[in-house]
């Protein structure tokens, strides 16, 4: 049996078995006897007008009242579709700024979780709104209606989502990073150490046995590390300053030095004009002491290699006598 015939028989066998397994005359007959589904004629209008237009007006003629009603309906739709997300973002912002005492990953996670829960579950949104309304009312009572010490309960808003204290140098980067950078001004920068110190004190008060175990080595070391993290959590990185070198560069070969003006006295012509510094080749040999009765005394001095000497004209002119 050839390979082609073997593959053909295998294909036919598989097709036959699949047909036997799937084909059922009773199921086909049952499906054919079922009544056809009736299409729903109900029309769901999600953008239903809040203000009804008068049905007696002619739509082809201009009517100021109809224009006002249409503008009002559009405004209601915008508020319905935009107010709820804005409210969710505001609540998420309050939660993120209230967690300013923790590292930025904690703030980011809580911002995203709060946004997702509030957006999909309205009961949680209502509870969170009630929570912050109660805090606002209690803060107003303590600071305005009572004689007790003034205190701040509501979180300070440093940014929409405070993530970094490093503000980009470029204006474009600062624009896009504005919702995520803090502090915005000196007033907010002064509030951060106060908030962190209050947080550290609250940690000590919450641990009632701190005074008893604070001298233990591992407790003292751990609390010292915690204080360092709290102190440097919101450090603002220093911007690199452009360094300009004020040291004078060495004189380069070929650099011209501008001569000073030389006055001429008694109508005399200077013997030499002031020229810029030039490179002068000197081939004058060094003096060699002559000795009597030696061959070197009568011989001519040998020439030495040329040396480079920088010659600069004096500023004082010389007059002919």
Q: DSSP string covering 190-201, please? A: HHHHHHHHHHHH
CA distance 15 to 314: 113
- Report the number of distinct structural domains present in the chain: 1
Domain assignment of residue 126, yes or no: yes
Domain assignment of residue 236, yes or no: no
Q: Average pLDDT in the 114-120 region? A: 94
- CA torsion 210-223-152-162 (nearest 10°) is -150
Domain assignment of residue 279, yes or no: no
DSSP codes of every residue in 148-201: S-----SPP---SS--BS---SSHHHHHHHGGGB---SHHHHHHHHHHHHHHHH
| pLDDT tens digits along 126-145 | 999 999 999 999 999 988 88
pTM for the model: 0.55
* pLDDT, greater one: 169 or 47: 169
Q: What is the pLDDT of residue 243?
A: 46
Domain assignment of residue 105, yes or no: yes
Domain assignment of residue 35, yes or no: no
- Where in the sequence is the domain holding 79, given as residue range(s)? 47-148
Domain assignment of residue 314, yes or no: no
Domain assignment of residue 103, yes or no: yes
| pLDDT tens digits along 205-261 | 888 777 777 778 887 788 888 888 888 888 888 776 654 444 455 555 544 445 444
* pLDDT, greater one: 307 or 126: 126
CA distance 215 to 221: 9
* pLDDT, greater one: 95 or 296: 95
CA distance 274 to 256: 12
| pLDDT tens digits along 256-295 | 445 444 454 544 444 444 555 555 544 445 454 444 444 4
CA distance 254 to 252: 6
Q: Give the contacts of 174 (CB within 8 A, at least 6 positions apart).
A: 167, 168, 181
Q: What DSSP designation does 2 have? A: -
Our measurement of the distance from residue 29's CA atom to the centroid of its chain's CA atoms, rounded to an integer in Å, reads 67
* DSSP reduced 3-state for 42: coil
pLDDT for 92 beyond 90: yes
CA distance 21 to 15: 10
Q: Is the dihedral of CA 12, 14, 17, 22 positive or negative?
A: negative
pLDDT for 31 beyond 80: no
Tally of CA atoms within 13 A in the half-sphere of 24 that contains its CB: 7
Question: Do you find a cis peptide bond into 183, omega within 30 degrees of 0?
Answer: yes
* pLDDT, greater one: 59 or 187: 187
| pLDDT tens digits along 96-116 | 999 999 999 999 999 999 999
CA distance 200 to 101: 9
DSSP codes of every residue in 79-146: HHHHHHHHHHHHHHHHHHHHTTTS-HHHHHHHHHHHHHHHHH-HHHHHHHHHHHHHHHHHHHIIIII-
| pLDDT tens digits along 155-189 | 999 999 999 998 888 899 889 999 999 988 889 88
Specify whether the CB–CB gap between 154 and 135 falls below 8 A.
yes
Q: What is the pLDDT of residue 298?
A: 43
Domain assignment of residue 244, yes or no: no
């Amino acid at each position: 049996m050839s390979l082609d015939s073997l593959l053909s028989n295998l294909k036919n066998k598989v097709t036959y078995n699949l047909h036997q397994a799937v084909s059922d005359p009773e199921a086909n007959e049952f499906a054919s006897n079922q009544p056809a589904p009736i299409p729903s004629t109900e029309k769901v209008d999600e953008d239903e007008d809040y203000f009804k237009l008068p049905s007696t007006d002619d739509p082809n003629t201009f009517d100021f009242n109809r224009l006002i009603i249409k503008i009002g309906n559009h405004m209601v739709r915008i508020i319905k579709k935009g107010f709820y997300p804005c409210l969710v973002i505001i609540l998420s912002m309050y939660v993120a700024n209230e967690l300013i005492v923790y590292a930025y990953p904690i703030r980011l996670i809580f911002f995203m979780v709060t946004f997702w829960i509030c957006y999909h579950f309205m009961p949680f949104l209502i509870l969170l709104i009630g929570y912050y309304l109660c805090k606002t009312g209690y803060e107003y009572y303590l600071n305005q209606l009572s004689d007790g010490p003034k205190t701040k309960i509501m979180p300070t808003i440093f940014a929409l989502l405070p993530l970094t204290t490093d503000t980009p140098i470029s204006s474009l980067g600062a624009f896009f990073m504005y919702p995520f950078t803090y502090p915005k001004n000196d007033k907010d920068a002064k509030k951060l150490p106060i908030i962190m110190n209050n947080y550290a004190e609250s940690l000590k008060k919450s641990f009632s046995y701190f005074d008893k175990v604070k001298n233990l080595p591992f407790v003292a070391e751990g609390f010292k590390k915690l204080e360092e993290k709290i102190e440097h959590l919101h450090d603002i990185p220093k911007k690199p300053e452009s360094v300009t070198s004020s040291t004078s560069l060495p004189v380069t070969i070929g650099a011209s030095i501008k001569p000073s003006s030389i006055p001429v006295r008694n109508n005399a012509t200077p013997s030499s004009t002031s020229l810029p510094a030039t490179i002068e080749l000197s081939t004058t040999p060094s003096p060699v002491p002559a000795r009597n009765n030696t061959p070197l005394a009568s011989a001519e001095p040998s020439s030495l290699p040329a040396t480079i000497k920088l010659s600069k004209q004096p500023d004082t002119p010389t007059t002919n006598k």
